[in-house]
Structure formats: structure tokens, C-alpha cells
Chains A and B, each alone.
Chain A
């Protein structure tokens, strides 16, 4: 199964309400351009689980987007036996991640990667979210007063992510 990887995203500290689909472009620009400072780790979850939206909050199909962009050689960073990576940093695309409170955190997406041979998929519950993630996806875990990178396959219940979310399973 092909997977999508969005990484090096800028996370907006303020939450977008789940029902807040029609936020105006202005609001989005303000929200993301001025408040996006914290860095989140990349995700490696199956493409069909990603919620990708444009700056107006409109849903974007990852598959259609990739098919469209892969024919633009300027954007294709790599397209070989390993997989495809396309640059989308200028398209103002955001990935929405649900939080425990039912709101969404928007993370700016700079590139989309579709490896031809993704590694094993795991089911994880982090915070209130239960989702699929590739075994090699990297999470940043807080251990006492230090941050440490941990692969998804080595996440253990009880660990706390740097984002404050708890790993349940």
C-alpha cells in the first residue's frame, strides 16, 4: 500500500474547530503565516487517512494531487525506484490532525512522498487518535527533561510525545 508522508510541517498552535471548514483565506493566512512556529515530526500514514486541505479549508484529494503534480518536472524532487517526492511548499496545503478535544491542528505540508516500498503499517493510539502509521515513522518523545526520537514500532504505552499527547497503545 502506498503511503503518504508529510513532514517538516509547521504546526499552528491554535486549533481549528472541526466544523470550521469555511475559514476565509485571510483568516488562514493570518493563522498559519504568523503563528506557525513550532515544528512537528513527520508523519508516515497511509494516504487515505490524511486530511489535506487548501488555505480555504477545502478538502484536497492526495491521490489526485500527486497524479497532477508528478507531471510537473519542476516540482518532482525524486521519481525513481525508491518512490516519488513532490514539492508542495508553495501551494499552501495543510494537513489536519484531530486532537483529543475534537478540534484539528493544521500543519503546513512542504512535500509529499510516496515510497514504492513502504515498511510495515502499525495501528497506534496517541491521545484520542487511533491511526495507522508506518513502522519507521519518527516521533519525538519527552523523557523527563529531554526529547528523544522514537520509531513508531518502538513506541510504548505511557510515553509522552513532545506535543503533550500520550501514547496509549
Chain B
């Protein structure tokens, strides 16, 4: 298998992995319509044909639906002419098809100019990355993940129902809907504060709390780069300043233990690690807050345990304060 560009090779590998069906790549392939018995396509050189570089993959057999992917590797964004060209190829293939339905998709890691959308929607040609109405630049890695997500979703969708995708702009919109949410993900990923385990996915405060809420504190630990709260169900939450990891499958052994700095009450009176640990063990996580330089958990609605890089701070939240000092 030879590839003209790294983009082609990567798209091919993604298509093969995502679709699980035979995927072909052809260079200077002379594609020709399936049925040439129409006066409309008669010409001195024969029926319409065009040499293209294409990644072709059969999505389903009944009806036969084939996806034609065009990889555009430009230094600038792809222009309407590029969309028009591919749309014309796919449209002609469909118009004179002997049963096969062709869907067109264009991948251009540098993006598309705004004028491309109208041509893509009217010809039902999917674009990756999506045009979202404002200048958005996606990383190359994000574009490849978009392609993989779109192909996996398309494969599953085709097995369920495909005929409704064939009328413009349904296929364009379907792919758009599958990849447009990358925008929110990319924005969060730039910050990259929360990391879910064991998936390694970028996460959010909301997801962190949703996964930890209601679990019982089983242990506390301090490492060289932060502190960890161990909870029932094999869950952990490690605070390391700029990064918060949570979830299952976190390694305890990999964390070199040290004596953490421990404080109690609002005034921050020094106390021992054993005191903090014995006080919070068995408590249930009932709330959480992220203050940037520390992470705070409400426990049993009567304690606040703060995870700092250097140690822990435990405060009673019951009132009157004087009678509930730790």
C-alpha cells in the first residue's frame, strides 16, 4: 500500500479501524459511472470519468452504500472549488449508478473557507472539520479523532437506517452533529485540569463530583506532587495543583508516601496526619468545590476536607463554630 501524503495514510488507517470493512485507497483512479446508457452522458470520449485520489469504503451491502473520502492537504483552508469538485464526482456517480449509493466526505485538516458550507449542504457532502460559523482552528489530532468518530457513528447509523441520510443536507448534518461537539471538548482540553481514570479522558468538575459523590472515605495519602483521597469502590481523587485526577485504577504504590502538612479548624491550627485521617475515615462525600489552589470536599455535611499539594486542612462546618471545633 502506498500513500501520497501522511494525511492519506492516517485517514486510511482510521477508516480501516473505524469501519471494520475493506477499505481501499486508489491514486489516479479513473472512476466512471456505473450505467452509461443515458444520452445525457454520451460524449466523444465516452461516459464521464475522472482520475481521483480516493479512500473508498463500503458501509453496508443492502443497499450498497459506499463512502468516498477525499483528503485535502493544503497549507490554507480548502475553498468552495474543492468541495464543488468532489460533490460533482459523487453526484455524477450517484446519478448514473447501477444501485450503489455514494456518500462524499472531505477531510481538510486546515479547515474550510466559509463559502464551502453552502456547496457542501446542497450536495450532501460532509466536511471534517465542521464549519461552525466562526473562526475555529482544530488541531490535526482533533481532526483525526473527528474522522474516526464520524466513521464509527456512520457505520452504526447505516446498519440502523441509511435512506434518510441520502437527501441533502441530511448526511452533511449527520456528520456535523457527530463532530461539532469537539468544540466544547477542545476548549476544556486546553485547560486540561481534570483527568478521568482509567480512560485518561479530559474531564470536568461536574463529572468528577458525579463520580465521587456518595462514596465513603477509606484513606488519605500524600505524595511528592500532591495529595490523594481514596474512596470506596476503588475510587481515588488526586490533587496535584494544576491537575486533578479521579476515577478507578489509580495506582497507590506509584505514589511515594511522605508526611503531609495537616491543619484543622478555620484558623489553620497544626495537627497530625493521624488525626485528620481518623476523623474523616468512614465519612461520605456530600459536596465538593474547586478553589484552584486546593480542592475541598464536604463530608457527611459536617466536615470540609481540603486537599492541598502539601497536605490536608480539616474544618467542621457545624454551628455554632465554637462548640464544634476539632
Contact = CB atoms under 8 A, between A and B. Distances in A.
Given A78-B149, A85-B153, A115 B181 contact: yes
B170 interface: yes
Given A1-B206, A8-B173, A151-B133, A85 B187 contact: no
A61 B321 CA distance: 43
Interface size class of A (residues with CB under 8 A): 20 to 34
Interface in B112-144: 117, 132-134
Nearest to A81: B201
A60 interface: no
A113 B153 CA distance: 12
B178 interface: yes
Contacts of B293: none
B201 A149 contact: no
Given A77-B153, A113-B177, A116-B207, A150 B199 contact: no
Interface in A109-127: 110-111, 113, 115-119
Contacts of A8: 164, 170, 173-174, 177
Given A7-B173, A117-B185, A151-B132, A136 B164 contact: no
A8 B160 CA distance: 16
A29 to B, nearest CB: 17
24 contacts: A1-B206, A5-B177, A7-B173, A8-B173, A42-B177, A74-B156, A75-B160, A77-B178, A78-B149, A81-B185, A81-B201, A81-B202, A82-B149, A83-B181, A87-B160, A87-B161, A116-B185, A116-B204, A117-B181, A117-B185, A119-B183, A119-B184, A150-B133, A154-B134
Most buried by A among B134, B181, B184, B188: B181
Given A78-B152, A151-B132, A154-B133, 12 more contacts: A7-B177, A8-B177, A42-B177, A77-B157, A81-B199, A82-B182, A82-B185, A110-B164, A115-B181, A119-B183, A119-B184, A136-B180
A83 B188 CA distance: 13
Which 4 pairs show the lowest CB-CB distances between chains A and B? Answer: A117-B184, A115-B181, A81-B201, A77-B153
Interface in A45-90: 74-78, 80-83, 85, 87, 89-90
B239 to A, nearest CB: 21
Given A8-B170, A116-B204, A117-B187, A87 B157 contact: yes
For the residues of B in contact with A, the DSSP-based class is helix
Contacts of A78: 149, 152-153, 178
A42 B172 CA distance: 13
A78 B180 CA distance: 13
Interface in B159-197: 159-161, 164, 170, 173-174, 177-178, 180-185, 187-188
A158 to B, nearest CB: 19
B188 A117 contact: yes
Contacts of B164: 8, 89, 110
A81 B188 CA distance: 11
Given A1-B206, A113-B181, A151-B134, A119 B187 contact: yes
Given A8-B170, A82-B149, A136 B132 contact: yes
Interface string A1-23: 10001011000000000000000
Contacts of B201: 80-81, 116
Nearest to B154: A77
Contacts of B181: 82-83, 113, 115, 117-118
A93 interface: no
B103 to A, nearest CB: 15
A91 to B, nearest CB: 11
A78 B188 CA distance: 19
A144 to B, nearest CB: 16
A138 interface: yes
Contacts of A7: 173, 177
Nearest to A83: B181
Contacts of B178: 77-78, 85
A35 B238 CA distance: 56
Nearest to A118: B184
Contacts of A149: 117, 133
Given A42-B177, A136-B180, A151-B132, A80 B207 contact: no
B149 to A, nearest CB: 6
Most buried by B among A78, A81, A82, A149: A82
B152 A74 contact: no
A5 to B, nearest CB: 7
